[in-house]
Amino acid sequence: MSIWGKILGALFGFMFLKIPGAILGLLVGHFFDKAYRQDFNQLGGFGRFFTDQDNLKQQAIFFHSLFSALGHLAKSDGKVTDREIQIATALMDEMRLTGDARREAQDAFREGKARDFPLVDTLKSFYDASHGRRDILQ
C-alpha cells in the first residue's frame, strides 16, 4: 500500500491551511495513491509514460507477435488445417483488419509456420516492447 501521496498531501496541506489543510491534503493524497496504484497494476508502473510515443510500434509488434505465434501453434502438429485458417481469418475480421494490415497479419501467420521460426525471441521482443504493461500482456 502506497502512503507517499497521503504523507505529502497532508504536509503540503498543513503548510498552507494548518489542520483543515492537512485533512484535505490527506484526502487528495489518498486519491493520488489510489490512481497511481491502479496505473501501476494495469500499466506496469512507468509503462504509462511509454504509451503515446511507442503506441504505433507496440501495435505493429503486437500484431506480428500474435499472428506469427498463431501460425506457429497451427503448424505445431505438422499441418495447418482449414479450421485453423478460418480461426485466424475470423480474428482478423473481429479486429477489423483490412488492406495492408490484413496482408501483414497473413504474412506474419505464414512466417510463424516456418520450422525455424524463433517463437521465444518473438515473444520476448513483444514483452520488451510492451514495457511490462499488464493490460497488453494479458
Supply the DSSP string of 21-89, one letter for each residue.
Answer: HHHHHHHHHHHHHHHHHHHHHHHTGGGGGGTTTTHHHHHHHHHHHHHHHHHHHHHTTS---HHHHHHHH
Q: For 32-78, what is each residue's pLDDT tens digit?
A: 878 777 655 555 554 555 555 556 677 778 888 888 999 988 988 88
Query: Tell me, what DSSP letter sits at residue 98?
Result: -
pTM of the predicted structure, to 2 decimals:
0.57
In this predicted structure, what is the pLDDT of residue 51? Answer: 54
Res. 137: pLDDT tops 80: no
Q: For 38-49, what is each residue's pLDDT tens digit?
A: 655 555 554 555
